[in-house]
Amino acid sequence: MVKIRLRRLGYKKNPVFRIVVLNSTTKREAAPIQQLGYYNPKTKEMKLDKQSALDWIKKGAQPTQTVQFLINNCDDEGKLNYKKPEKEKLSKKAQAKLQAEKEAEAKAAEEAKSSEEVSA
């Protein structure tokens, strides 16, 4: 079985990966059938030949989960366009205050609705 997977390069604590096509029974560092691109997780820099990757998948090559994610989140030029959703981290006190404000707004809206029904 042919797989599309990452090949680790770079030095300690600074990985750089090449996206390669390999036979599944060979080692990670074996000679690849084809090199499709590279990915640097620290800088989020990526260059991928997306068309070749999709052709290999059509031929029956199985991408790993990480490679499948990279293929899905790259544009036609092969650059990564994934934006991680930003969440605000609030303290427990701030979360409780926000929850109380939401409850107060809901209660006020409910009272306004009931007063409109009574007047009508």
pLDDT in tens, 3-13: 999 999 999 99
- Whether residues 55 and 104 fall in one domain: no
Output b/e per residue, 25-47; b: 16+ Cβ within 10 A: eeeeeeebebebbbbbeeeeebe
Average pLDDT over residues 25-41: 89
Which domain range does residue 10 map to? Answer: 2-72
* Listed residue (71, 54, 55) closest to 6, CA to CA: 71
Average pLDDT over residues 26-48: 89
Which stretches of the chain are DSSP H helices? 50-59, 65-72, 92-119
List Cα–Cα distances, 14 to 1, 81, 91, in angstroms. 30, 22, 33
Q: Are 24 and 1 in contact (CB under 8 A)?
A: yes
- Whether residues 54 and 11 fall in one domain: yes
The pLDDT value given to residue 120: 59
- Whether residues 36 and 92 fall in one domain: no
The pLDDT value given to residue 19: 94
pLDDT tens, position by position, 61-111: 999 999 999 999 888 888 888 777 777 788 889 889 999 999 999 988 888
The pLDDT value given to residue 9: 92
Q: Enter the tokens of residue 117.
A: 């029904």
Number of domains in the chain: 2
Q: How far is Cα 35 from Cα 16, in angstroms, rounded to an integer?
A: 14
The pLDDT value given to residue 119: 67
CATH assignment at residue 66 = 3.30.1320.10
80 falls within a domain:
no
Q: Are 36 and 52 in contact (CB under 8 A)?
A: yes
